[in-house]
Every structure is written in C-alpha cells, then in structure tokens.
C-alpha cells in the first residue's frame, strides 16, 4: 500500500510538536517556513484529519495529532536504529558469522581459532557447524555456511563451484603406548616394514576420517590392507585412550594429540624417510556476500597460516 506520509513529514511533525512553533521547527530542520507549512498541509490532506490546532498563539496537537505523534516517534526511532545497525555491520562492529569445519578440525584445531577470534572481536556472534567435508562443502555452496576449514577430499562436482585455498599442513602421527618396545628404538624411528607388525586401532571402516587417513597412507606407499587391525572404535578420543592403555597403535592428526603430547601419555614414532601430511583447506563460495565479520575471520586464518 502507498503510505500517506513520508519520513520527512514525520520528522516535521515531531519537530513542530517539540518546539510548538512552525517557525522554530523550520529553523532546526533547515527548511523555509512556507515549505514546512506546505508539507504539513499536504500531510493533513492525505490523512483527512487535522494534526495541529493553530487557533492559539502556541501550536498544539489535536487528539488525533497526539496519537499520530506517538507512532511517529516509534517509526523514527526504528529508522535510526536501522541506520545504526547497518552502519555497525558495515564497520564490523556487530555481525553474525557461520563457520564450518570437518570433524577432526572442528574438534581439535578450530576451537583455538574461535577462542582467539572471540577475544579480538567479542561483538561478532559465531555459529559453528561441524560435519564431514562433503556436507560442509555442500553447505558452503548452499550459502548456509560463510567460510569453512576442511581436511578431507572435496568432491569433484563441488570443486569447480567453490573457492579453495590451501591453509596449513596437518601431519598424521603414528602413536603407540609408552610401554611399547618401539619406544626404545634409536631416535624412536622405525622403518615402513615395522608397521605391518603393529596391532592397529582405527575408526570404523565406513568413517569418512578413516577413509581419508587410509588414502593418505596409500599415497605414501603404505599398504593399509596389510595392517593387523585389532579394534575399530567410533571416535578419535576413544582411540587415543585405547593407545595410552597399551592396546595398540594408531594414526591420528597431530592437532588431536597436543594435550597427550604435553602430558606424555603416549609416544609418537617416526617412520624412516616418510612424513605423512595432508593439506587443510579454506573453502568459500565466490558468489556469497562477504561481510566485515567474514573479512575479520578470514584475516585471522591468514595470520595463523603465515605464522605456521
């Protein structure tokens, strides 16, 4: 519907009601008095009512004018709030950002980044979505996530539609119990053949992370089919606990064992002439609007990347 008034006319009504004078209202609004009077006459004609009683020396509101002023003040206050909010969002002083991560990254690496970001930008609300790389990539494409860090393989059908940037290298570490004989080896280095004599603890065979780890190992000429797998568990935390209890060995992300390394609850063994790494990626949608909150978070990731 077409409104019978403009925001300028509402500002005029509020000024006249405040100053109780057409002349003073015109002065504070930097308008000529004839122009202001013309606007009020047009407004009253559009509404079909009188808003001001002009019979006395002082301009006063009619009963309808009193009610109209109440709504006028609410409308103008909401307009001012809208302008402040848009300006805050434009300058990054407020905002909401949805961040995605694949499972291992979301559990172990991303919380450190989020804690630092929240400290530097407490005014920005963060929402976090942790899922498989495939699902996170699809949510980026659907624009339900603004930016994500993933470690798995991004499906070919999504790669051409997303912006993919290398983030950092994540090392896959071989962990064993502190009581294992391999801990007595010189420099804690074993050769590739020694792997096939270990008892391995892994994630379930249908796990996305398990498949990703197996693929990386195979790319490094390690025959995962020859592993002696004695146990399959449903979480990395369960695997780390099982290893620390002396039940077997496992390959896990270096970011997942920072606490255990500090507490020395397990040992990391190096494979001679082999360093097993995967590249973590930052993924975004090139067609998605990038807010100030997005820019701030991306800059934090870039800083972390350059400091590695």
Domain closes at, from 67, 91, 115 = 91
pLDDT per residue as tens, the chain (308 positions): 688 899 999 999 999 999 989 999 999 999 999 999 999 999 999 999 999 998 777 889 999 999 999 999 999 988 887 887 777 677 766 678 899 999 889 999 899 899 989 998 888 889 999 999 999 999 999 888 999 999 888 888 899 999 999 999 888 899 999 999 988 877 788 999 999 999 999 999 888 788 888 988 998 899 999 999 999 999 999 999 999 999 999 999 998 999 998 999 999 999 988 888 889 999 999 988 788 888 889 998 998 888 76
**H helical segments located in 49-92:** 63-91
- From CA 97, how far away is CA 123, in angstroms rounded? 11
pLDDT of residue 1: 62
Closest CA to 305 of 273, 280, 269, 283: 280
Q: Name the residue range of residue 37's domain.
A: 7-91
Per-residue model confidence (pLDDT) at position 129: 94
Give phi and psi for 172, each to the nearest 5: -90, 120
2 lies in a domain? no
Tell whether 182 and 232 lie within a shared domain.
yes
| Whole-number Cα distances in Å, 283 to 107, 114, 164, 242 | 18, 17, 5, 34
CATH code of the domain containing 181:
3.40.190.10
Residues 273 and 297 placed together within one structural domain of the fold: no
Tell me, yes or no, whether 190 lies in a domain.
Answer: yes
Minimal CA–CA distance to 100: which of 68, 142, 63, 53?
142
C-alpha 270/C-alpha 188 separation (Å) is 6
Instruction: Decide if 236 is inside a domain.
Output: yes
- The domain boundary, picked from 91, 120, 148, lies at 91
Between vectors from CA 243 to CA 194 and to CA 107, what angle results, nearest 5°?
115
For position 96, what pLDDT does the model report? Answer: 83
| Residue 1 is assigned to a structural domain of this protein | no
Task: Please give the pLDDT value at position 308.
Answer: 66
Q: Give me the number of domains the chain comprises.
A: 3
End residue of a domain, out of 41, 57, 91: 91
């Amino acid at each position: 519907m077409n409104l019978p008034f403009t925001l300028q006319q509402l500002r005029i009504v509020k000024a006249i009601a405040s100053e109780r004078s057409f002349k003073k209202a015109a002065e504070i609004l930097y308008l000529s008095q004839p122009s202001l009077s013309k606007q009020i006459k047009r407004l009253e004609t559009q509404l079909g009512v009188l808003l001001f009683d002009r019979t006395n020396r002082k301009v006063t509101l009619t009963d309808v004018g009193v009610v109209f002023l109440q709504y006028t003040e609410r409308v103008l206050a909401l307009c001012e709030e809208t302008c402040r909010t848009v300006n805050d969002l434009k300058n990054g002083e407020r905002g909401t950002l949805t961040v995605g991560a694949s499972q291992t990254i979301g559990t172990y690496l991303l919380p450190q980044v989020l804690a630092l970001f929240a400290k530097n930008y407490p005014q920005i609300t963060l929402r976090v979505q942790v899922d498989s790389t495939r699902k996170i990539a699809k949510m980026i494409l659907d624009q339900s996530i603004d930016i994500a860090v993933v470690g798995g393989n991004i499906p070919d059908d999504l790669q051409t539609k997303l912006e993919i940037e290398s983030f950092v290298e994540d090392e896959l570490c071989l962990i064993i119990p502190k009581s294992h004989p391999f801990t007595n080896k010189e420099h804690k280095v074993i050769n590739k053949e020694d792997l096939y004599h270990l008892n391995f603890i892994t994630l379930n065979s249908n796990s996305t992370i398990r498949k990703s780890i197996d693929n990386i190992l195979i790319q490094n000429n390690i025959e995962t089919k020859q592993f002696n797998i004695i146990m399959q568990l449903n979480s990395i935390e369960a695997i780390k606990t099982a290893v620390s209890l002396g039940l077997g060995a496992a390959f896990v992300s270096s970011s997942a064992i920072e606490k255990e390394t500090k507490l020395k609850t397990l040992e990391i063994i190096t494979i001679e002439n082999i360093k097993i790494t995967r590249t973590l990626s930052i993924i975004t949608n090139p067609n998605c609007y990038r807010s100030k909150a997005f820019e701030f978070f991306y800059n934090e990731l870039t800083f972390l990347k350059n400091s590695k």
